């Protein structure tokens, strides 16, 4: 029985993604997920007053995702092999995260438009033949990710959400709100990098920075914000 997001198997994550995407109430998500884990059909006949005690060990599944372990490192679509980012986006480039995945995620959460979900996935995976993230191929790759089952794409979005949460904790000064305070999770799950100060300091306004490792750039932004 998984006790938190990162203990989920790929199959369990797909099941949970399907349930979360189904628009069910919180308690129903708990029941459906617990049933999928245990096969206990009797849960449907349990008086509602007893349900909180029964599902208390999996209530984490309706809380904000902290999934940062990559469950789908490779995806093959129509014979094209894609590699995903490593755990916690540790091999992502700044370009991949901030200029592509982050706005795609924000717009998907805001509008629930499948095109933004396809864009998010195409931003987090790159063709094996390329070896690195190729921003010029993102739109072309979107067409292939449109063929991936929705539950897998929802699972990928949960992974990205968890990675963002991980990064917020690791680099609190790089993620700040409009008021200049450390970022907090908003109703739409989005808190942006505040890059105006970083740009004025010459950190993120050149091609080399776009291609640089995300963590390296966040460290530099943190140092700039602390000055």
* Residue 15 domain-assigned (yes or no): yes
* Residue 68 domain-assigned (yes or no): no
Task: Choose between 207 and 199: higher pLDDT.
Answer: 207
Q: What's the whole-number mean pLDDT along residues 68-93? A: 97
Query: Percent of the chain, pLDDT > 90?
Result: 58
Same domain? For 135 and 204 the reply is yes
Same domain? For 110 and 208 the reply is yes
> pTM for this one?
0.86
Q: How far apart are CA 4 and CA 16, in angstroms?
A: 12
* Residue 67 domain-assigned (yes or no): no
- Domain with 32, as residue range(s), is 5-62
Same domain? For 161 and 49 the reply is no
Provide the number of structural domains found in the chain. 2
Burial bucket for residue 38 (CB in 10 Å: 0-12, 13-18, 19+): exposed
Same domain? For 78 and 134 the reply is yes
Same domain? For 83 and 187 the reply is yes
Q: Which pLDDT score is estimated for 200?
A: 43
Residues in Cβ contact with 96 at an 8 Å cutoff, skipping those fewer than 6 apart: 85, 123, 124, 133, 135, 214
pLDDT, tens digit, for every residue of 119-131?
999 999 999 999 9
Q: Which pLDDT score is estimated for 45?
A: 60
Three-state DSSP state, 7: helix
* Residue 69 domain-assigned (yes or no): no
Which tokens belong to 205? 């306004």
Same domain? For 10 and 110 the reply is no
Domain boundary, last residue among 34, 62, 90: 62
Residues in Cβ contact with 206 at an 8 Å cutoff, skipping those fewer than 6 apart: none
Picking from 42-56, 74-88, 122-136, which range would have the lowest pLDDT averaged per residue?
42-56
* Residue 105 domain-assigned (yes or no): yes
Domain boundary, last residue among 13, 34, 62: 62
Same domain? For 137 and 210 the reply is yes
* Residue 197 domain-assigned (yes or no): yes
Helix locations, 7-91, DSSP H: 10-20, 26-38, 51-55
């Amino acid at each position: 029985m998984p006790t938190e997001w990162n203990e989920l198997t790929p199959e369990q994550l797909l099941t949970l993604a399907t349930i979360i995407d189904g628009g069910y109430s919180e308690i129903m998500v708990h029941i459906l997920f617990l049933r999928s884990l245990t096969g206990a059909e009797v849960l449907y006949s349990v008086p509602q007053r007893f349900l909180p005690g029964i599902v208390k060990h999996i209530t984490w599944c309706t809380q904000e995702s902290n999934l940062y372990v990559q469950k789908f490192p490779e995806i093959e679509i129509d014979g094209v092999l894609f590699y995903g980012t490593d755990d916690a986006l540790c091999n992502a480039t700044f370009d991949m995260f901030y200029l592509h995945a982050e706005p795609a995620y924000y717009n998907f959460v805001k509008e629930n438009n499948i095109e933004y979900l396809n864009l998010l996935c195409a931003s987090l995976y790159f063709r094996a033949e390329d070896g690195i993230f190729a921003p010029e191929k993102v739109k072309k790759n979107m067409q292939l990710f449109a063929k991936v089952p929705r539950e897998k794409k929802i699972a990928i979005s949960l992974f990205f959400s968890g990675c963002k949460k991980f990064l917020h904790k690791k680099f609190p000064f790089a993620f700040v709100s409009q008021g200049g305070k450390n970022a907090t999770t908003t109703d739409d799950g989005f808190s942006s990098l505040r890059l105006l100060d970083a740009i004025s300091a010459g950190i993120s306004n050149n091609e080399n920075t776009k291609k640089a490792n995300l963590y390296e750039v966040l460290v530099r932004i943190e140092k700039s914000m602390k000055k």
